[in-house]
């Protein structure tokens, strides 16, 4: 028995080992250095280590391991401080302090990867409780641990994945009614609000659930926090959480003059339409969505109804916590999490999908359809492998970029790259939730949303043994989806100057184009300008070394009036994929040309 447990533990440690290897390799090759909020969290740890306090303003002004780890050429960090204190919560830096002291930035990243290496162990325990006596727990724990976002995001200096792991573990212990030390439960609960204030409501709900389970266990079972100490010990988690919240409030009051800390009403948007778009996008956006990054959890969508039917209390608790965490993130004015790995705003709730996933597999196995579950997981793993293979190497979409109206055809993702989709194909086949107007009109968004609804209804049909109704549902969906894709034009908006296009002026020319490379295809280019003299124009691809491959060229007559240029430029599929597209006007005084409007839009490829 001991030997088997040791072998299982070694297998479950594999994701942590691989995650640490990824962190070290990236560090050695300068890939994915600390960006976004990461250096600000680390500077809190630096202040604790160097000065023994939380006043970090001076740490921004001196040479530190954090400053030396910034990407080459990056300007000095803007201080994220109020009254000298960091606007970021100090819980994560406190956890990172020993590792940062021993190994600097790399040590902190490795320590994060090791902490998140506990994910497969937690999933394994939940799987053993839901699928006892089967061969499923170990492979499922490995699939989750080696999948998105845990493997690649494990070394990122953000509290989201760690908070999600704590919430998942505490929910699992509560649901299984296992005896657990009260100080351990209370300590984890007390840590949550120090990681980020948005984790206080889930912590409070979990404390309430543990207290209610101790008072009225259902079904009758030992309290998950009492053990042999009696029911009185069940109050310890709530007491520890209350003490933690009081201490956090006092710190915030001293540092920021408010018990809520640096957070202000303006940190959350009141635009409900945008909140709804981001909330849906965190599930279905081609790059930000959990179901695109981790297709394995689509089986959890099928299992939602099964989960609710078999463990209603746990399902309701998961649903409440899911909304408590996801909605504040969707309302954040820094769309999708700013300069961090894409999808970061769903990291804290990702593990909650393991519950319906496990119940779905149990249901299929009980119906003699275990092979169907295995096949579905195999397909999901292949899709996830495509995603992981692309984001493991430097690319243009690993990090969140500011949302923009032309994202539906300009922005790529691993699947678009793997299939080499044209801009129109991206807009037609891949959902995009970057612009409210486009998101509401995009056929692909409605189709993928309909697929999620159908998967959920399929779970209900499976519960009620209505296979024919399920088949009819999917037939209707397939016909509707194919018809809509074929008949409805893709929802696209042109790339415009100042948002999607940047202007560059030289001594005798003015040029405009996207900041990065765009896919091969035919593009309509519209330009309003006042030339004042005869000019030449050309569309070209500009390589990294400065070489130009002219795609189209022409002349413009002299005029004092505002004029308009409409042309079509075609980027061949055999062109340099790293080259930037550029429209250039040139002449004796080309740099002084007044440009009123520039738009670039892909043409339909049918």
- Residue 573 pLDDT exceeds 90: no
Mean pLDDT throughout 457-477? 92
CB-based burial of residue 426 (10 Å sphere; 0-12 exposed, 13-18 middle, 19+ buried)?
Answer: buried
Residue (of 275, 174, 272, 186) closest to 236 by Cα position: 186
**Could you tell me which residues are beta bridge partners of residue 598?**
527
Please report the pLDDT score of residue 110 as a whole number: 97
Residue (of 128, 140, 214) closest to 177 by Cα position: 214
Q: How many Å apart are CA 16 and CA 100, to the nearest integer?
A: 19
- Residue 515 pLDDT exceeds 90: no
Residues near 302 by beta carbon (within 8 Å), at least 6 away in sequence: 356, 360, 455, 456, 458, 459, 462
Q: Give 89-128 pLDDT, tens digit per residue.
A: 999 999 999 999 999 999 999 999 999 999 999 999 999 9
Q: How many Å apart are CA 289 and CA 125, to the nearest integer?
A: 27
Residues near 333 by beta carbon (within 8 Å), at least 6 away in sequence: 266, 267, 268, 269
Please report the pLDDT score of residue 591 as a whole number: 53
- Strands 563-571 vs 580-586: parallel, antiparallel or unpaired: unpaired
Categorize the per-residue pLDDT at 397 as very low, low, confident or very high, splitting at 50, 70 and 90: confident
Mean pLDDT throughout 320-343? 92
The stretches of 442-527 forming alpha helices (DSSP H) are 443-464, 467-487
Angle at CA 433, nearest 5°, toward 22 and 427?
95
- Residue 595 pLDDT exceeds 80: no
Q: How many Å apart are CA 16 and CA 117, to the nearest integer?
A: 4
Tell me the pLDDT of the chain averaged across its residues: 89
Please report the pLDDT score of residue 350 as a whole number: 97
Please report the pLDDT score of residue 255 as a whole number: 92
Categorize the per-residue pLDDT at 222 as very low, low, confident or very high, splitting at 50, 70 and 90: low
Residues near 185 by beta carbon (within 8 Å), at least 6 away in sequence: 170, 173, 210, 224, 225, 236, 237
Residues near 328 by beta carbon (within 8 Å), at least 6 away in sequence: 198, 268
The stretches of 332-465 forming alpha helices (DSSP H) are 347-350, 354-366, 370-391, 407-410, 414-419, 423-429, 436-441, 443-464
Please give the residue that has the higher pLDDT: either 605 or 235: 235
End-to-end CA distance of the chain: 63
Mean pLDDT throughout 321-345? 92
Enumerate long-range contacts of 60-65, CB under 8 Å, 24 or more apart.
65/100, 65/104, 65/105
Please report the pLDDT score of residue 218 as a whole number: 57
Please give the residue that has the higher pLDDT: either 159 or 504: 159
Q: Give 69-84 pLDDT, tens digit per residue.
A: 988 766 567 778 899 9
Q: How many residues does the chain have?
A: 606
Give the phi and the psi of residue 192 in degrees, each rounded to 5.
Answer: -55, -55
Mean pLDDT throughout 251-262? 92
Q: Give 404-458 pLDDT, tens digit per residue.
A: 888 889 888 899 989 989 899 999 999 999 999 899 999 999 999 999 999 999 9
The stretches of 257-369 forming alpha helices (DSSP H) are 272-284, 290-293, 298-302, 304-310, 312-331, 347-350, 354-366
Q: In this structure, what token pair is assigned to residue 165?
A: 């792991």
Mean pLDDT throughout 378-383? 95
Q: Are 290 and 297 in contact (CB under 8 A)?
A: yes
Q: Are 190 and 206 in contact (CB under 8 A)?
A: no
- Residue 204 pLDDT exceeds 60: yes
- Residue 268 pLDDT exceeds 90: no
Please report the pLDDT score of residue 516 as a whole number: 82
Coil vs helix vs strand at 586: strand
Mean pLDDT throughout 297-312? 96
Q: Are 21 and 50 in contact (CB under 8 A)?
A: no
Please report the pLDDT score of residue 185 as a whole number: 93
Categorize the per-residue pLDDT at 561 as very low, low, confident or very high, splitting at 50, 70 and 90: low
Q: Are 111 and 156 in contact (CB under 8 A)?
A: no
Coil vs helix vs strand at 450: helix
- Residue 459 pLDDT exceeds 80: yes
Categorize the per-residue pLDDT at 328 as very low, low, confident or very high, splitting at 50, 70 and 90: very high
- Residue 542 pLDDT exceeds 80: yes
């Amino acid at each position: 028995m001991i030997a088997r447990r040791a072998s299982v533990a070694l297998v479950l440690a594999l994701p942590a080992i691989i995650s640490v290897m990824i962190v070290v390799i990236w560090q050695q090759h300068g890939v994915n250095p600390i960006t976004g909020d990461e250096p600000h969290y680390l500077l809190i740890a630096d202040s604790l280590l160097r000065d023994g306090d939380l006043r970090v303003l001076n740490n921004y002004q001196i040479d530190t391991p954090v400053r030396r780890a910034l990407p080459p050429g990056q300007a000095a960090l803007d201080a994220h401080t109020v009254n000298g204190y960091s606007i970021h919560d100090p819980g994560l830096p406190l956890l990172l302090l020993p590792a940062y002291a021993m190994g600097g930035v790399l040590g902190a990243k490795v320590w994060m990867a090791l902490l998140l290496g506990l994910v497969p162990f937690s999933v394994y325990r939940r799987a053993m409780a839901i699928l006892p006596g089967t061969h499923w727990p170990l492979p499922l724990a490995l699939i989750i641990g080696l999948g998105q976002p845990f493997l690649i995001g494990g070394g990122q200096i953000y509290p989201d994945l760690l908070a999600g792991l704590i919430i998942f573990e505490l929910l699992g212990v509560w649901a299984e009614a296992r005896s657990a030390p009260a100080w351990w439960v209370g300590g984890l609960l007390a840590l949550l609000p120090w990681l980020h204030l948005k984790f206080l409501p889930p912590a409070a709900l979990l404390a309430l659930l543990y207290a209610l389970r101790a008072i009225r266990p259902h079904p009758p079972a030992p309290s998950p926090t009492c053990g042999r100490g009696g029911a009185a010990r069940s109050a310890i988690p709530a007491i520890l959480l209350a003490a933690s919240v009081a201490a956090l409030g006092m710190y915030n009051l001293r540092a920021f003059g408010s018990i809520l800390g640096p957070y202000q009403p303006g940190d959350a948007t009141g635009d409900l339409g945008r909140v709804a778009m981001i909330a849906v996008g965190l599930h279905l956006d081609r790059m930000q969505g959990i179901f695109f990054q981790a297709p394995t959890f689509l089986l959890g969508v099928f299992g939602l109804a099964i989960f609710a039917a078999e463990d209603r209390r746990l399902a309701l608790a998961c649903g409440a916590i899911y909304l408590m965490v996801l909605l504040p993130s969707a309302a954040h004015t820094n769309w999708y999490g700013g300069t961090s790995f894409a999808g970061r705003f769903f990291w804290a709730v990702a593990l909650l999908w393991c519950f319906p996933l496990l119940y779905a597999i149990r249901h299929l196995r009980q119906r003699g359809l275990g092979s169907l579950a295995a096949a579905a997981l195999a397909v999901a793993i292949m899709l996830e492998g495509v995603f992981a293979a692309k984001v493991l190497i430097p690319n243009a979409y690993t990090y969140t970029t500011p949302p923009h109206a032309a994202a539906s055809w300009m922005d790529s993702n691993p699947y678009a790259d793997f299939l080499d989709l044209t801009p129109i194909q991206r807009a037609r086949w891949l959902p995009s939730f970057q612009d409210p107007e486009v998101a509401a009109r995009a056929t692909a968004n409605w189709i993928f949303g309909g697929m999620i609804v159908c998967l959920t209804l399929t779970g209900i049909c499976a519960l009620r043994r209505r296979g024919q109704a399920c088949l009819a549902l999917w037939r209707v969906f397939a016909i509707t989806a194919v018809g809509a894709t074929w008949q409805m034009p893709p929802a696209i908006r042109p790339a415009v100057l100042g948002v999607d296009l940047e202007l560059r002026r030289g001594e005798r020319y003015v040029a405009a184009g996207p900041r990065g490379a765009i896919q091969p295809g035919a593009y309509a280019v519209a330009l309003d300008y006042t030339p004042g003299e005869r000019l030449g124009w050309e569309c070209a691809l500009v390589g990294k070394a400065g070489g130009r491959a002219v795609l189209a060229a022409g002349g413009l007559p002299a005029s004092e009036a505002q004029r308009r240029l409409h042309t079509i430029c075609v980027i061949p599929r055999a062109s340099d994929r790293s080259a930037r597209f550029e429209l250039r006007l040139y002449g004796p005084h080309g740099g002084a040309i007044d440009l009123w409007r520039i738009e670039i839009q892909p043409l339909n490829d049918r």
